[in-house]
C-alpha cells in the first residue's frame, strides 16, 4: 500500500481532508452571507447580484458541482473519523482526552447533521422552489428573477424564519468548533498565536451566523419589505 493511501486511511489523513474541505465550505459560507446581505441595499442590488451569478452559465455549474463534491467529501470524512474513533480503544493516559474529544466530536456530528438537513430544506425552498412553486414565477420589472421578493415572501412565514434562525445558530456553533479544530489539525502557529487565531475564528463564526439571522429577523420586524 502506498504512503499516500496509508495517510488517507489514517486518522490524521482523514482529519486533514476534513479540515481542507471544511475550509472550502467556510469560504463558500462567507461568500454566500456577503451576497445575501445585499438585500439590505434593496431589490435592485439583490436581483442584479443573483442575475450576475446566473450569467456565469457553465462556470456556475462547475462551482455548484465542486461545492457538492466538497460537501460529500466533508461528510464522508466525518463518518470515517467517527468510525476510526469508535474502534480506537483508549489507554489510561488518553482516556480523559478521548472523552472530551468524543463529546465535542458528538456535538459536531449533531450540529453538522442538522445543518445538512437544513441545507436540503433550503435547496428545496429557495433554489428548486419545491416547497413553494410560486417562487418560480417571480420576475422583476427588468425580467430578472426577483430574488428580493422571494426572500421577503419566504421569511414572512414566521415558522420558516424560526427554522432558518435555529439552523443558523447551529451553523455558528459548528463553524466555531470547526475553525478551532482546523487550526489544531493544520498545526498552525504556536500556542499564543493559535489562541488568537481561534478568537478570530470564533468572531467570524459569530458574524456569519448573525449576518444570516439578520435577514429573516428584519423581514419579521418589517424592516425588509416589498417595495
Smallest gap from Cβ 189 to ligand HEM, in A, equals 27
Beta carbon nearer to ligand HEM, 7 or 120 = 120
Alpha-carbon span 81 to 74, nearest angstrom: 11
Name the grid cell of 103: 463529546
Smallest gap from Cβ 54 to ligand HEM, in A, equals 7
Q: Residue from 10, 64, 103, 107 that binds ligand HEM (CB under 6 A)?
A: 64
Q: Residue from 7, 119, 162, 200 that binds ligand HEM (CB under 6 A)?
A: 119
Q: Residue from 18, 38, 50, 205 that binds ligand HEM (CB under 6 A)?
A: 50
86-124 as b/e: b if 16+ CB within 10 A? eeeeeeeeeeeebeeeeeebeebeebbebbeebeebbee
Q: Which is it for the CA torsion 172, 31, 34, 41, positive or negative?
A: negative
129 contributes a contact to ligand HEM by CB under 6 A: no
Alpha-carbon span 9 to 46, nearest angstrom: 44
Q: Residue from 113, 126, 138, 217 that binds ligand HEM (CB under 6 A)?
A: 126
- Chain-centre distance for alpha carbon 174: 9
Burial zone of 1 (CB within 10 Å; 0-12 exposed, 13-18 middle, 19+ buried):
exposed
Q: Residue from 26, 135, 148, 164 that binds ligand HEM (CB under 6 A)?
A: 164
Q: Could you tell me which residues are beta bridge partners of residue 139? A: 145
Q: Residue from 38, 152, 212, 224 that binds ligand HEM (CB under 6 A)?
A: 212
Q: Which stretch binds ligand HEM (CB under 6 A): 8-16, 96-104, 179-187, 211-219?
A: 211-219
Q: Site residues (CB under 6 A) for ligand HEM?
A: 29, 32, 36, 50, 64, 115, 119, 122-123, 126-127, 147, 151, 164, 168, 171, 212, 215-216
Amino acid at each position: 500500500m502506498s504512503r499516500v493511501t496509508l495517510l488517507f486511511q489514517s486518522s490524521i489523513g482523514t482529519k486533514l481532508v476534513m479540515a481542507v474541505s471544511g475550509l472550502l465550505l467556510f469560504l463558500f459560507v462567507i461568500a454566500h452571507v456577503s451576497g445575501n446581505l445585499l438585500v439590505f441595499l434593496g431589490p435592485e442590488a439583490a436581483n442584479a447580484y443573483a442575475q450576475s451569478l446566473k450569467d456565469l452559465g457553465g462556470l456556475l455549474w462547475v462551482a455548484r458541482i465542486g461545492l457538492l463534491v466538497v460537501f460529500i467529501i466533508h461528510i464522508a470524512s466525518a463518518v470515517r473519523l467517527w468510525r476510526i474513533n469508535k474502534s480506537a480503544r483508549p489507554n489510561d493516559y488518553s482516556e480523559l482526552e478521548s472523552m472530551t474529544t468524543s463529546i465535542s466530536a458528538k456535538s459536531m456530528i449533531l450540529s453538522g447533521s442538522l445543518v445538512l438537513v437544513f441545507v436540503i430544506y433550503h435547496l428545496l425552498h429557495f433554489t428548486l422552489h419545491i416547497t413553494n412553486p410560486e417562487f418560480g414565477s417571480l420576475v422583476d420589472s427588468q425580467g430578472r428573477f426577483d430574488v428580493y421578493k422571494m426572500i421577503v415572501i419566504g421569511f414572512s412565514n414566521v415558522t420558516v424564519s424560526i427554522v432558518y434562525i435555529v439552523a443558523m445558530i447551529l451553523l455558528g456553533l459548528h463553524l466555531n468548533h470547526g475553525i478551532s479544530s482546523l487550526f489544531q489539525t493544520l498545526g498552525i502557529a504556536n500556542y499564543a498565536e493559535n489562541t488568537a487565531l481561534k478568537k478570530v475564528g470564533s468572531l467570524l463564526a459569530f458574524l456569519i451566523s448573525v449576518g444570516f439571522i439578520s435577514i429573516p429577523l428584519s423581514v419579521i420586524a418589517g424592516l425588509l419589505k416589498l417595495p
